[in-house]
Amino acid sequence: MDTFKKLKNFYMPYKRLFITSMFFLIIVTAITIIYPIILQLTIDEVIYDKKYEMIPYLSIGFVILMLVKGVATFIQQYTGDLFGITSVYRLRNELYKKLQFQPFRYYDNAKTGDLMSRLTADVEGFRFFLSFGFSEALRFILILGISFSVMFYYSVSLTLMTMIMLPFLAISVYKFDKVVHPAFRGIRKSFGKLNTNVQENISGINTVKSLSREDFQTSKFNFSNDDYRDQQISTANIWAKYFPLMELIGNLGIIILLAYGGFLVINGSLKPGELVAFYSLLGYILMPIINLGFTINLFSQSKASGERLLEILEADNEIVDIQDAFEAERFKGEVEFQDVTLQYFGDENAAIKNINFKAEPGKVIGLIGATGSGKTSITQLMTRFYEPVSGTVLIDGKPVNEYSIQSLRSNIGIVLQESFLFSSTIKANIAYGRPHATMEEIVEAAKRAQAHDFIMELPDGYDTMLGERGLGLSGGQKQRIAIARAICLNPSILILDDATSAVDMDTEFKIQEGLRQVMKDRTTFIIAHRISSLKHADEILVLENGKIVERGIHDDLLANGGPYERIYKIQYKDQQAILQSQTG
């Protein structure tokens, strides 16, 4: 029960619903046990002793019991369902919140489909047990306790005889639980992998089709689907093996009852009605024990689900606010790296090594280098997306971990190379980081990002609804909306991570002209592969293998004859070749 104890904070606040449900469950169970007693009285008193005057009383009593049981059953089931639904409502919210505040390092190793499976199928599996599992367990205890009490009242010897088979039944149930729980955990993991395949395929459908890899993706899905099927078949095999065995043991108990009970009736030690009642009560006992497999099934599934949910809830988050974290209203924009090294989880080599530089407020810093040289890693340390292995990142002379995360990131605007847009209006996407921005501010941000003209050509302008991930817009249009979103935030520090890679050179020039005004009085970091994007930077940092190998302004770096000049010559030759092909 450790899993349920760890999750008790989510269902204990609703214990009144649970207690109410269990109270009415006791009433329902007690009335159920009265049925065999009424049957016994009808046979022994009315039929054999011919006390026909009891018929009206027994009939009226039976109808009243039916009505009470009907009302009690309704209340018990409703409050039980309400207990489960409200409990997982809080749990689902907490899981989602936990995922929102997990660091990038967590998502480096997580699978989207698996996380989706946990927030849907696993949460629902846990809810089902809260709604039905606990009540079934209590029903089992009550049925056994009350039924045995009545049976002992009728005949101690017959009760003891019928109990001979119960230890064997209990052993079967115990062994069933031991093998079925790992099986259900395997099903949950397999289902998570299946979800991941579906999510990745749908997200990357353009790549799949452009490379004609439909057959490969189908084969990959079939492999995961085969594993999921095999896990389910293996679990079904366990169920099919143990359930008939438990039923057989239960039926042997009934045979003993009928044989020995019949003997007692013939000898006059037991009345016929008591034997019939005994048979009904034994059925009440055996069926819950046999169906205990179903309850264990529920328990095993919910336990497996709970364990997977706890993996999210108990995941470490090393990037949190320190006590009394500083709330910065607006930065001046001074950024300094002091001997900073970053290593990603699972990588043998450091992403950046012993980085030192200082960016004065309002300056433009260019970052250039080959893919994997550490450009983006530098900017991700400013926002505390990752924590450095060693060294210190400072903003306005204060280590970034001394600021509250919310105030730190609200002062830093980022435009990534892969622009993500939400399934909402263009207006809402631009104002996403600043929800209370006025329409004038949204339009001004769009104009500076060279997005206003194409937005106005859309059917509903700024109120145009975008499809998933900005479906319906070109890559360049999505990037310009992302740039407008960063501009609308009005940050103290602006990071442009290859933000104009998806636009043509003419549009890039126009965007840069608009950004020059935006860059005034704010520190800007430009990551680019095109030297044209950062030739006007106040300082350019050239990176190779995680280290700064050159730094300076454009003209000085060209004169040095180092890596920067080599990059420039390669790009210049490419541009010359393009021009020649266009004029030739």
pTM: 0.69
pLDDT at 251: 78
Per DSSP, the residues of 16-69 read HHHHHHHHHHHHHHHHHHHHHHHHHHIIIIIIIS--TTHHHHHHHHHHHHHHHH
Q: Annotate 63-76 with b (16+ C-beta within 10 A) or e (fewer).
A: eebeeebeebeebb
pLDDT at 395: 94
Listed by start position, the domains of the chain span: 2-313
> Exposed/middle/buried for 515, CB within 10 Å: 0-12, 13-18, 19+?
buried
Q: What is the pLDDT of residues 197-239, one digit of tens each?
A: 777 777 677 567 665 677 888 888 888 888 888 888 888 888 7
Per DSSP, the residues of 348-365 read SS-SEEEEEEEE-TT-EE
- CATH class name, domain 2-313: mainly alpha
pLDDT at 215: 83
- For the CA atoms of the chain, what is the radius of gyration? 35
Q: What is the pLDDT of residues 433-461, one digit of tens each?
A: 888 889 999 999 898 888 898 899 888 89
What letter represents residue 375's amino acid?
K
Residues of the chain whose pLDDT is less than 50?
Answer: 579
Could you give the dihedral angle defined by the CA atoms of residues 157, 159, 164 and 169, in that order, rounded to the nearest 10 degrees?
180
What letter represents residue 322's amino acid?
I
pLDDT at 224: 85
**How far is the C-alpha of 382 from the C-alpha of 492, rounded, in Å?**
12
Q: What kind and span of H or E run contains 105?
A: helix 104-109
